[in-house]
Structure 1
């Protein structure tokens, strides 16, 4: 397809309605703009694109000739919008002319998750521009501001400008900021220097960072400094701070110790200093806290020391006293996973299973479950009879990973265990392994008014799709125990039997709050359009969960009313809910498009188009890229950007 020769002579209305609004013309118009010599016309096309769709406008602004981009980006960013949205559009435009606004956003919001992924293309394109020089000058001035928050923001922002040509000045400014009287400015400077590991001259900061790690009192600062030193592991002079980092392993604050361990792992890769390994290995068998050995294991793996540490620990298991032996077993559990072949240590672990210390046996079972549970099924089943309940529970967890056949009768015997958590774990095993033979036992538990596990049994019967359990679940749906009613409703929904619909509809009239949400969810899972009245009624509920499950139910039935129900959840602060709502609407769009109902698909466009501009979304916490991404997908299905043209 080729644009007409008189394209620029056409009216704004025609260009918008017959060309810009259709996705089939977008690439042609972008290519056309890259060679268009007429600045006024190029900016006209950008402005017209923005009137149709923000993302389209951003693409067009980034496509015009380089000498026109300053004005094009100014047009793109001239309206007042939330910071996250401007950043989103700058990324789409991929123009170095967006650098001024980019720096302003970082300065105002840092740290913020929506700028954590640096737009390197923008930085590269702007690195040698006059705007870059001006930005660095302004930030340098800000480092001398009387307001420490402005100084901290400037230090943070300078760390993002690692591609700029005046990098020596940036490094010098940041090293000076390490002397700032305000601790949070110092921490910001340390973080920024850590981002510049590949920049010549940053090694000058290492002595000062080492001294700061030794002297700093605030744990957050010590963490930032340790992490920065880890990032600078390949720099000249880094070996001088190894003793300071090792000393930090013994500090009181766990966060500092974890940061130091990870940094030492990075330094080992660069220096091969064996003192690092000796001290990390020492932590594995002496540390009381459970979190630090896990972090040390990550550091050892990243340093390529995992197998060496495992060999040392296996040897230690033969000689350590009981107080250290369980710690060695715990460390092995942290280090060993199913990603590599560790079957060669199974004989060692089977010997450890005989240890008198239940903690040692527990970790041995955990490791066996990670390595190759199918090779030790007999031993795992025997462990179900261990005198320590926690060991039995670990054995059940390991059995969940077995892929071959296991003796079901021995598993089901676990339901007679005197420890309720062991029995609960057995029920989970029945569920995960889809053990249909366990259904009769689960029904016994469900019908036993004295059992503490009725809710677990109800949920598992649902997950096993046990049709035979429907009568019993209908009875427990009327229990005085509210949680049992909720789980019974959920189970009936998972089974999907339409015979449960009358009872669930009655429950809808009687339940409140969370129970009402579970009933609506169950009816939604049954996917009967005759329950549409319930779902629409649920959309009017004061309870957010009921409204959400009602919208979800309407969507599962592919009913048009789902659109209005889902809109609310495109506007909430929780990003995972927004993502769910956006994905659900895209799924509806795909279904309706395949069914030839393009009118329903097109009706979504105005909804998504207005969402990013909501006035309430003026903080990073309310960024909403999900709406823009969903809008782009629906536009692609429709083949056009806007329904209004």
Structure 2
């Protein structure tokens, strides 16, 4: 029938049919109004649908819930929300499920204390379909429902025997973001990173990512570092993204090393995720300072191979400073490569290194002649390599045209 039939006459006739003595007539009238959707959401229709939620037949009550859900926010009146709240206690599990679905379709307008409380109870319903629907509804109204009671109920759902229910709980926590980053939630997510279901582990990483720095405990970072080596690439990808979301303040040598190793993952999606994460954590001076030569060599190879790596966010003066303080020659190719790509010019005047980038000039003091010479030679070698690569590419292009 669809929206073409959404005329006043048809809607009025269908509304009257909801009061018919014949069960099938009432059911089909509901289904027809559901097909019309938002345009059928008149005061008379809504009022009649609320009354029909008391129908003796469970299939009619279920169809009423679906019809109200199809009307969405236009049907989200106080009376409808109150009626759906009562329907969450219906004796039939499919009616309870449909009531949850209707509340989800209406969104945050349904986020009353009573509804939230009932959805929390529904998360522990004996029927799996109800628990799943309640979790999805909870997710839809999450921004106004980030209470201790809600997060506590979601923690319980994380231990549900059904993986779909657990995934729904993750999705709800993901929507809540930083608001859900309690000690209890973080601890439960860390435990769930060891779940036998790879999708569940992936969803746990995704939930931790949305919590960002608020969830950046030592235990969480350690668990994610292990997850970066997970046997399933989807988990590794999500773990890299979660580590990147913790920000530079939470960066450790172990974290950076794990992400650098992930740059060599056989799946390009994981390599990209690791590269994006590194763009953020590499701004952490203390963590970068602790990197050993072998790790730095992997980093350099990763930056060279990962073409989407945003080298412009790596401050050249900080990288040069890292080399000068650590006296670690493994920093040199990284320093010179990123500096040249950024268009940075470096000059050495006595015991000072002058760094020119766009309109900014910064200087670093250095007294070691060896360090200065190593830096100059590295720049020369890198420039030479750039030039050779450019000539090779140009010649290849000419041969291709010929």
Q: The TM-score by the shorter chain falls in which range?
A: 0.5 to 0.7
Shift, 1:287, TM fit: 4.4
Distance (whole Å) between structure 1 residues aligned to residue 65 and residue 342 of structure 2? 50
Match for residue 316 of structure 1 among 78, 87, 98? 87
Match of 2:262 in 1: 476
Match of 1:525 in 2: 313
Q: Larger Cα Rg: Structure 1 or Structure 2?
A: 1
Match for residue 62 of structure 2 among 262, 286, 293? 286
Match for residue 216 of structure 2 among 436, 454, 467? 436
2:194 matches 1:424: no
Shift, 1:365, TM fit: 3.6
Distance (whole Å) between structure 1 residues aligned to residue 60 and residue 299 of structure 2? 54
CA displacement, residues 385-441 of structure 1 (integer Å, 9 cap, x when unaligned): 111122222223334424573323233111111222221221122222232121111
Match for residue 329 of structure 1 among 74, 96, 100? 100
Shift, 1:274, TM fit: 4.0
2:113 matches 1:343: yes
Which structure carries more strand by proportion?
A: 2
Q: Which blocks of at least 5 consecutive residues in structure 1 are unaligned?
A: 1-218, 230-237, 537-556, 560-645
Shift, 1:360, TM fit: 1.0
CA displacement, residues 489-544 of structure 1 (integer Å, 9 cap, x when unaligned): 1111122449699866645654xxxx53x22xx223336597476479xxxxxxxx
Aligned residues: 291
Distance (whole Å) between structure 1 residues aligned to residue 33 and residue 358 of structure 2? 53
SS at match of 1:373: coil
8 Å Cα contact 2:37/2:71 also seen in 1: yes
Match of 1:398 in 2: 172
TM normalised by structure 2 equals 0.58
8 Å Cα contact 2:85/2:114 also seen in 1: no
CA displacement, residues 529-561 of structure 1 (integer Å, 9 cap, x when unaligned): 97476479xxxxxxxxxxxxxxxxxxxx979xx
8 Å Cα contact 1:353/1:360 also seen in 2: yes
CA RMSD of aligned residues (A): 4.3
Match for residue 295 of structure 1 among 62, 66, 70? 70
Shift, 1:273, TM fit: 7.8
Distance (whole Å) between structure 1 residues aligned to residue 181 and residue 260 of structure 2? 35
Q: Which blocks of at least 5 consecutive residues in structure 2 are unaligned?
A: 18-25, 289-294, 318-336, 344-356, 360-402
Distance (whole Å) between structure 2 residues aligned to residue 455 and residue 361 of structure 1? 29
Shift, 1:472, TM fit: 2.2
Distance (whole Å) between structure 1 residues aligned to residue 221 and residue 232 of structure 2? 19
Shift, 1:246, TM fit: 8.7
Q: 1:443 to 1:326 in 2, by over 3 A?
A: same
Higher RCO, 1 vs 2 (CA within 8 Å, ≥6 residues apart): 1
2:126 matches 1:356: yes
Within 5 Å, give how 1:13-412 maps onto structure 2.
223=3, 226=6, 229=7, 238=8, 242-243=12-13, 260-265=36-41, 267-268=42-43, 274-275=47-48, 285-287=61-63, 294-301=69-76, 306-335=77-106, 337=108, 339=109, 342-368=112-138, 370=142, 372-376=145-149, 377-400=151-174, 401=176, 402=179, 405-407=182-184, 408-412=186-190
Within 5 Å, give how 1:572-611 maps onto structure 2.
none
Distance (whole Å) between structure 1 residues aligned to residue 258 and residue 120 of structure 2? 44
